[in-house]
Amino acid sequence: MQQPVRKAIFPVGGLGTRFLPATKALPKEMLPIVDMPLIEYAVQEAMAAGIEEFIFVTGRGKSAIEDHFDRHFELETTLSERGKTEALELVLQSTPKPGRIAYVRQGEPLGLGHAVWCARRFVGNEPFAVLLADDLIMSDPPTLARMVEVYEERGGNVISLMEVPSEHTSRYGIVEPGDDDGRIVDVQGLVEKPRPESAPSNLAIVGRYILQPDIMDYLSLGSLGTGNEIQLTDSMIKLIGNHPFHGLRLTGTRFDCGTKIGFLEANVAYALGRNDLDGDARSSIAAILEAF
- How far apart are CB 269 and ligand UTP at their closest, in Å? 20
Contact pick of 45, 53, 134, 176 for ligand UTP (by CB under 6 A): 134
Residues facing residue 160 across a β-bridge: 206, 248
Residue 166 binds ligand UTP (CB under 6 A): no
Determine which helix (DSSP H) or strand (DSSP E) holds 88, and give its type and residue range: helix 85-93
Residue 12 binds ligand UTP (CB under 6 A): yes
| Closest residue to ligand UTP using C-beta atoms | 14
Contact pick of 57, 205, 239, 240 for ligand UTP (by CB under 6 A): 57
Residue 64 binds ligand UTP (CB under 6 A): no
Residue 193 binds ligand UTP (CB under 6 A): no
Looking at the chain, which runs of residues are DSSP E strands?
7-11, 32-33, 36-37, 53-58, 101-105, 128-131, 135-138, 157-163, 173-180, 184-192, 203-211, 245-249, 253-256
Return the sign of the alpha-carbon dihedral for residues 23, 25, 27, 33.
negative
* 155: alpha, beta or left? (left if phi > 0; alpha if psi -120 to 50): left
Size of the site for ligand UTP (CB under 6 A): 21
What's the CA gap between 134 and 57, in Å, rounded?
Answer: 14
What's the CA gap between 214 and 116, in Å, rounded?
Answer: 12
Task: Decide: 87 and 81 in contact? Cβ < 8 Å.
Answer: no
Nearer to ligand UTP, 110 or 145 (CB): 110
Per-residue string for binding with ligand UTP, 75-114, x by CB under 6 A?
Answer: -------------------------------x--xxxx-x
Residue 17 binds ligand UTP (CB under 6 A): yes
In the DSSP assignment, the letter for residue 159 is: E
Contact pick of 30, 51, 132, 191 for ligand UTP (by CB under 6 A): 132
Q: How many CB atoms lie within 10 A of CB 80?
A: 12
Per-residue string for binding with ligand UTP, 28-47, x by CB under 6 A?
Answer: x-------------------
Looking at 35-172, which runs of residues are DSSP E strands?
36-37, 53-58, 101-105, 128-131, 135-138, 157-163
Per-residue string for binding with ligand UTP, 234-273, x by CB under 6 A?
Answer: ------------------------x---------------
Nearer to ligand UTP, 188 or 267 (CB): 267
Q: How many CB atoms lie within 10 A of CB 194?
A: 18
Nearer to ligand UTP, 87 or 110 (CB): 110
Contact pick of 5, 7, 8, 11 for ligand UTP (by CB under 6 A): 11
Return the sign of the alpha-carbon dihedral for residues 275, 277, 283, 285.
negative
Nearer to ligand UTP, 176 or 256 (CB): 256
Nearer to ligand UTP, 79 or 236 (CB): 236
Nearer to ligand UTP, 71 or 260 (CB): 260
Judged by the rule CB under 6 A, the positions of this chain that interact with ligand UTP are 11-18, 28, 57, 106, 109-112, 114-115, 132-134, 258
